[in-house]
Chains A and B, each alone.
Chain A
């Protein structure tokens, strides 16, 4: 643990995942340490409760370990792959829950509550993550409220633009435009991070 960025989620080395694929237990343990806080945060935001988020993380990591889902360098950074995988599984759960007629505590309020209950920097949140976190936070906060809301409804609640339009009682075109503009602003605001090779 001599390298301060070893636990940074944003700095997960693709070779670590390669070792996990080979069944390296230590690499798997490291992968967990690097990424679990970020993935758990995401799962809690989507599912709205800690128990289900923990269950989901268990599924995701075991899926990685058992190579049901495999990382491919071509698909982007390891963390992007893990985030996509977690988000996708969480949204699946959310939809399964909705089809069972259960409406859990998941809502923007739940997300807000998570944001308010700031546990402070975790030991796994190293400087590289902190800087990126600040940059992403600033980029998201810099969006107009309507754009931010539309993106969050799609991203964290898995709603399609048509569903968002219905939820917000806005014309479909307006919602699409908000998402496009918002995503475009975020890309412009964060482009420096991958241009600098931080995330490659």
Chain B
């Protein structure tokens, strides 16, 4: 290979494009001390080292640094303590590099004894350095470990505190929960009692009203059969205070436009009260008849309207008519009829 050929291979060498034989040839040439090739190579190698800067930077994973820092142990070993590295990778800059740039590696030109003496001295001094280095490193490591242990203990203590605190809080929480459950139970009981009391109260009220009614009735019977407007008013007033009384109002038909009435039904006593107003006098041989109509009319009772009478109260016991929605009063022959036959005088408003 001529010098020109070798010099031409320098940029290829720097780019990494030479095969092994060409590489070795150039390295041998460089070892021979060719200055122009040295300088050319230095420039091209600087160029080659810059090439990765043309790539868009990719950051290594965050964890990599920690991995590397952790992987440094065992403590650093001086290069000289490592035996000749077996089979140096092919692209590592060759040994010739040591010759390229002073002041490195003068050893090759020395005679063997010198070299041996120097090497021994080097090994001894390196041994001392290494021992010092290792002991320094070890003491640093020991103090580091102590620090770490101390901080670990501190952390453990803190953790125990936190755990205890959490335990206390959990206990307090459980107590609170129990208390809430207790209160909820008490509240439910109180509510139940209240409902019971209300029911009792209701019962008492109804009993009271019934007693009043009974009293009124007694008074009525004491007064004989005389029907006056005044006394039924008391009864009505009493009746109206019973909460579950059903009330139906009735209006006069074309036969008696001024007539009106209302009907009360007390489901507890199964009594029907019809209070009618302004019905015309029922002629002799006739009677008014009250009907409850559900599917078909059912007679509830009959009553007369005497001369000069404007209001009339009919009280009848009827076992089951809660289903009836319509009520009517018709004028029938005396004694009444099983079905209405005469004209209607009063009709419930639907």
Contact A42 B47 (CB under 8 A): no
The interface bits of chain B over 57-72 (1 if a CB of A lies within 8 angstroms of the residue's CB, else 0) are: 1111100110111011
- Please give, as numbers and ranges, the residues of chain B lying within 8 Å of A122 by CB-CB distance: 57, 59
B88-129: contact bitstring with A at CB < 8 Å (1 yes, 0 no)? Answer: 011111000110111110000000000000000000000000
Q: Mark B1-44, 1 if CB is under 8 A from A, else 0.
A: 00000001001101111110000000000000000000000111
**B64 near A183: Cβ-Cβ < 8 Å:** no
Name A28's contact: one of B8, B15, B72 (CB within 8 Å): B72
Q: Let me know if B55 and A155 touch, CB within 8 A.
A: no
CA distance A161 to B222 in the complex (A): 140
Task: List residues 169-200 of chain A with CB under 8 A from any CB of chain B.
Answer: 175-176, 179-180, 182-184, 186-187, 190-191, 193-194, 199
B333 within 8 A of A: no
Count: A-B pairs, CB below 8 Å: 219
Number of interface residues of B (CB under 8 A): 57
A88: chain B residues within 8 A (beta carbon): 89-92
Closest A residue, CB atoms, query B68: A61
User: Which A residues touch B67, using CB under 8 A?
Assistant: 54, 58
Contact of B59 among A37, A79, A182, A190 (CB under 8 A): A37
- A161 to B19 alpha-carbon distance, docked (Å): 8
Given A79-B49, A132-B50, A67-B78 contact (CB < 8 Å)? yes
Give 1 or 0 for each of A44-63: 1 = CB within 8 Å of chain B CB: 11000010011001100110
Listed in ascending order, the chain A residues whose CB lies under 8 Å from chain B are 10, 22-23, 25, 28-29, 32-33, 36-42, 44-45, 50, 53-54, 57-58, 61-62, 65-70, 72-77, 79-81, 83-85, 87-89, 91-92, 111, 114-119, 121-122, 124-125, 129, 132-133, 136-137, 139-141, 150-151, 154-155, 158-162, 164, 175-176, 179-180, 182-184, 186-187, 190-191, 193-194, 199
21 A-B residue pairings within 8 Å (CB atoms) = A37-B59, A42-B55, A45-B52, A54-B61, A57-B60, A61-B68, A68-B82, A74-B102, A81-B49, A119-B59, A121-B57, A129-B53, A141-B54, A155-B16, A179-B15, A180-B8, A187-B11, A187-B44, A190-B46, A190-B50, A191-B43
